[in-house]
Structure 1
């Protein structure tokens, strides 16, 4: 039984606005994000843990297929079709694979990619469980009948922000929101909640999802010239970074930033050159929890023993600042040409201090953990179903070896 996963392990390098005056450049996913890579490892860890549990799905082995959405809607949909059809060149409504069924899809992280995925998966009634997508619209079961999540919906976020503003007496605020469906819908809901109070909105600006110097400089000017001191940020860290870098470059200080869970725990805001700008930031975060054994699992990752682990070689290069040798050239030539040391495999993860290994603040990682367990328990309910007592017509049960995706959805709903 297969559980699919869609994660934004990488993102494109800084792109520019496409004005359609020349052929667009291809989007290359070149920037590796170790924080999101840990979410992938959480899914792998949980599936291995479940397979070793004799009480949960005994005699049933779970497998996984994971796809990198690269923070792109097109890639997320491509990965979804790959999971549904079982082939790299997908043919809609046709599955060319073994009888091993796809039970559900865990992901994606961003609401901007989770929404189109939910539309597609809803057509085929495949259950989808997102671990961070908080857009309010995803709660609409008429539009997204197969969507679930292990994070609170956006209504709670908007009410929390409004109450926070009232509590501190901030009556003149600004809003910075990402240029996605999630950003637009969240802004609508936030303005609705703020409208119930005595708070006024000084400005509401849209942060581009691509690199646009003109747009970024315009937003910076708005922030600089406005008398607003409390600014709400509803934006994923991958989109807000270019703007914050420019804020820091222009030495904008004295502002109070209220950052939502989309980026509040990101290491980006901990960078030393941004500290002065972000001094006084208040972040809204999801609950955190401990995952027993996960730290040891991460420390045991190694390119030589985890060859089938997605991006393990890229991860190794990222954390150790080295490059794997090119098999077509000599080691000496590699070092001379790249100017960096070569990876050898003798590097030790327990010898470095990186946020990837810090399991004391597991929030979205824990949401991934819960999402996989939710699917496992739904499958267990199908597996242990007794004839005559099942949830389907006339008390019938599903066959754990040959079920329909909507049958897993029913178990998730119960």
Structure 2
């Protein structure tokens, strides 16, 4: 049973003659094959429904009754046994027919219906087809959109159940690929679509440049024939059978009619092939094979026209018009390949049934008798498992859904500037092919029209976000409509249209364009940079100045001013100050574990010796004043041993603290990647912050005690009272270190080291200047004051 397109388009019925001849050709081949269905003759009974549902139902009941005038639920069959129904109905009519056939359990093999809902074997258990399901068609369209990066599209579809489901699948797939459907227009599949309806729909769809037309051929034919529907520069993707248009438009051109379609027309067509020897069969077939009610006179005469290809041209004479010439120039002869496969699939299933154990007696019992006990549902298990190679070498079988594993060809059709029509296969989609080879497209083979100066056409709601930017979706806008915002510092996007920026690794940072992560700049206070060089120079200068002062004191060691307040303490203090100035150099340069340890230990111990020396000096001043009183017992404590013991006893606790610090949690170098943007700071971690502040606290304690004692002794009568200078030096020292702590805590990186070096240099130079500069002034510039007579006088 074969059924064709709508009665509204009688010209399109002409392609059904190819389908009919393919059926006859396949049946004759099978009957002539002694190995396939031996001792059995395959026949057929054909009816045309004109895609009119009542006609289709009447035709179905006629087949079941076996009579011209049908009687419901009554079979009066005088010919062979009915094995299955092969049909070429559109999707919805095929679904309705399946509901009828399900009652009688007859197999239904379709060579036209791609209804995706009919892949459900529970609802349609007896349905098979030799074309691909629309599920594959939707996947192919999504692959095409993704390949050209078309994310802003409109869809026009009929409102039948299968198309509605397909549109839903397309919407979900487009959104998963980052796109969105701007407009979805539907029209009734039960009514003729008018030019006014199409015009209104197109006005709403003009926001996009890519249009998907998802509907049967008769509706697509009506849409594309309306003037000014095809907008130059737009791309149309259709699922309708396009082979019929090729011949039709050639004839329109021959009649000087204008076709408004542009070249940007991509159609998905079930993969077709031409059957070997079928063209010869068309040329030589007996004209009387045609049923009387199919009226093939016009179709037949066209094959005699000189413009018809030699492969199917008949040797006769005729006077045909260009319009009736439309079916002659078809690249593929209707759905002949699908019909051919359907007939052979049925024949092989029947053959398997005959050769099985249950049908082994059928052959021996003759042509008809063996099928007297035939039941239609017995054929289903053989159809499900049928597998063979057709005459073209293609393997034919049905998958678990009853679908033939076959793909689609992508057709580019349009008009060339020479006036000829173009119909080229530019790609394919086969979901059963290996991954990576399932979708192919040859962009160079597509003849885009002149409106598309930059290819492919831009089909986006928003401009692509370049590397260095990410998408920002506004609430309420479609998913493919967005703004581009630059990536924040430390994040990059190295691809186009990234949804979010990616954070750089911890040891890297984003470049200026925010499209690549580059290694962070490693920073530390080095000798090469100006700040490090200046501090180094200052430290060395103060060291040399201290060394000069020590030389002066050694050179004038026997003078009264040097001998005053214990010259050994002065030597110890000057040496310790020299070490203080030199220890600041350890803070400059790339921090290592050993330098980090030396920084704090050398700093803490040298400063404790300096402050202990100053404390010993202060105590010496007080003791010297008290020892001058008659009967004082402090005279015996005025020796150098006492002062040295004070220095040693006050320095040992600091040494002990440093040892405990080094043993418990010593300082170490580490990479600080968070403090400064785009930089890696090589710093010294204090290890134990408690130990660090204990060392500073002990220094503060020594300074405070020295300051307190010196302050009390500042007004003691003496010709050269050193307590005044010690008081002022301790005031400078304490002021520096009190201001150091908040400054130190508020800075980061190498500037923290700079603050610490500055505190060391400032406090050390304060001690040096306040205590020793006045003495050097007297020694070098006022030598007359550096004698016992002057001191005794005062």
TM-score band (shorter)? 0.7 to 0.9
Q: Distance in 2 between matches of 1:295 and 1:312?
A: 24
Quick one: which of 7, 18, 24 aligns to 1:12?
7
Deviation per CA, 1:64-85, whole angstroms, max 9, x where unpaired?
A: 1111121222222222222122
Structure 1: runs of 5+ lacking an equivalent: 15-29, 322-344, 391-397
Contact kept? 1:71, 1:110, Cα under 8 Å: yes
Q: How does 1:72-221 map to 2 (within 5 A)?
A: 72-98=52-78, 100-209=80-189, 210-213=191-194, 214-221=196-203
Contact kept? 1:76, 1:108, Cα under 8 Å: no
Deviates more, 1:126-135 or 1:276-285: 276-285
Pick closer, same or farther for the CA change 1:253–1:208 going to 2, 3 Å: farther
Q: Does 1:310 align with 2:288?
A: no
Pick closer, same or farther for the CA change 1:359–1:385 going to 2, 3 Å: farther
For 2:467, the equivalent position in structure 1 comes to none
Q: Distance in 2 between matches of 1:216 and 1:401?
A: 55
Deviates more, 1:184-193 or 1:59-68: 184-193
Number of aligned positions between the proteins: 357
Deviation per CA, 1:237-279, whole angstroms, max 9, x where unpaired?
A: 2122222222x3566332201112x323332686145754231
Q: Distance in 2 between matches of 1:269 and 1:99?
A: 40
Deviates more, 1:201-210 or 1:54-63: 201-210
Q: Distance in 2 between matches of 1:135 and 1:358?
A: 29
Deviates more, 1:267-276 or 1:37-46: 267-276
Quick one: which of 249, 264, 283 aligns to 2:242?
264
Pick closer, same or farther for the CA change 1:387–1:31 going to 2, 3 Å: closer
Larger helix share, 1 or 2: 2
How much does 1:388 deviate? 9.8
Q: Distance in 2 between matches of 1:184 and 1:79?
A: 28
How much does 1:407 deviate? 0.9
Of structures 1 and 2, the larger Rg is shown by 2
Structure 2: runs of 5+ lacking an equivalent: 303-314, 362-368, 386-794
Q: Distance in 1 between matches of 2:370 and 2:360?
A: 14
Pick closer, same or farther for the CA change 1:401–1:61 going to 2, 3 Å: farther
How much does 1:282 deviate? 1.1
How much does 1:144 deviate? 0.8
Q: Distance in 1 between matches of 2:248 and 2:164?
A: 27
Pick closer, same or farther for the CA change 1:31–1:289 going to 2, 3 Å: closer
Q: Does 1:300 align with 2:278?
A: no
TM-score, reference length from structure 2: 0.42
Q: Distance in 2 between matches of 1:315 and 1:127?
A: 30
Deviates more, 1:176-185 or 1:355-364: 355-364
Secondary structure (helix, strand or coil) at the match of 2:288 reads coil
For 2:268, the equivalent position in structure 1 comes to 284
Q: Distance in 2 between matches of 1:379 and 1:358?
A: 36
Secondary structure (helix, strand or coil) at the match of 2:47 reads strand
Secondary structure (helix, strand or coil) at the match of 2:336 reads helix
TM-score, reference length from structure 1: 0.77
Q: Distance in 2 between matches of 1:408 and 1:84?
A: 17
Q: Distance in 1 between matches of 2:125 and 2:332?
A: 32
Quick one: which of 231, 242, 255 aligns to 2:234?
255
How much does 1:360 deviate? 5.1
Deviates more, 1:91-100 or 1:197-206: 91-100
Q: Distance in 1 between matches of 2:326 and 2:352?
A: 37
- Higher RCO, 1 vs 2 (CA within 8 Å, ≥6 residues apart): 1
Q: Distance in 2 between matches of 1:118 and 1:187?
A: 23
Q: Which runs of 4+ in 1 moved over 6 A?
A: none
For 1:404, the equivalent position in structure 2 comes to 375
How much does 1:103 deviate? 0.6
